[in-house]
Structure 1
Amino acid sequence: MSGIDQPTPRRASIGARRSPASEAAILAAARAVLAEGGYAGFSIDAVSRRAGAGKPTIYRWWKTRADLLMDVYDAEKAAMLTQPMTGDLTGDLVAYTAGLWDFWSATPSGRTFRALIAEAQSNSAALDALRLKFLPKRTLHLSKLFTAAAGRGEIAESEIETRLALYIGFNWYYVLTDRLDEGRAAIPAAMRLIAAPASR
């Protein structure tokens, strides 16, 4: 029997309010299942067995598989990435992007990111999770970089949203086409364009 299928003692549910211990156990189990079986082998059943948590509890806290995977992604990314503070938007973006691409390449949840986006194109619940929960949380640090640059007078505050969209488009182009290694050389030039001074 594989590690994915080995059950652990069942944890008691405490209702809708999340138990920190149970939540941590479920997220740890989800990371382990994802690492062992990849996106194709990831299921709520496998996570439930691994964590010793009931499926109703998991579904009460994470409405879909995509919701759980996005929280695993968030936790791994927070542990691996730090927000750069070079005092220059181009430098900040180059450093952040290099770390982000390392995360996408080196971690199970990072490698699953492309599949999550693909699932969102055919699953309305996954799309809602991506658009309403995942993107606002994941662009928070980036927004701070652009806002700080606007405060220094590098860019216009009115252009932050557009520049952020350009940044996301550049990154997703390479991750969705599985060309991260090929695209690394383009990061500095792309970040200079995205961080170019506002026209006067």
Structure 2
Amino acid sequence: MNASADQRLLAAARRGDVEAVRAALDDGARVEARDDELRSPLLLAALGDHVAVARLLVAAGADVNAQDARHDSPWLVTGVTGSVAMMRVLLTAEPGPDLGLRNRFGGISVIPAAERGHVAYVRAVLQETDIDVDHVNDLGWTALLEAVILGDGGPAHQKVVALLLAAGADRELADAHGTTALEHAERRGFAEIAALLRG
């Protein structure tokens, strides 16, 4: 094990330095090296949206499903950052992303993306994968519920709701308290989203 090369690889991945990543790998760095929070080089690249670094690491066999101490993985954080380019690089990995892998809230990547209003990501992940549009996290929320409950009701979240519905999201799925997305939208005064949910 070359600890020095591992540390250089982690630092280079964090800052998005492709040449330094390549040099560290050439010097014997482990593609699955971990930092103090158990983050891999690929996870650090994904967090920083360093797509070229991620492409190099994936080609070197990096694990797109490797989870850190917070249960984040390279694939899962694409839903947080909303990076379609990173999502597509990770989809080329062998083996590919585990679409059912859960974050610390029991969610999959489309749920934080819906919450944050990442329209392009939600569209891409629904079109380019067979991700479960009705996955329920530990809070009892689907992507549709999260888009309404934690969204701002604005244009981005309206588009996210429309995309989820078009992908077959079950509008009748209620939260742990029995409240549906429509009822949440009505309570929050999100008229446009409520209209979408009424169909």
Please give the TM-score of this superposition, normalised by the length of structure 2: 0.33
- Structure having greater relative contact order (Cα 8 Å, sep ≥ 6): 1
Please give the TM-score of this superposition, normalised by the length of structure 1: 0.33
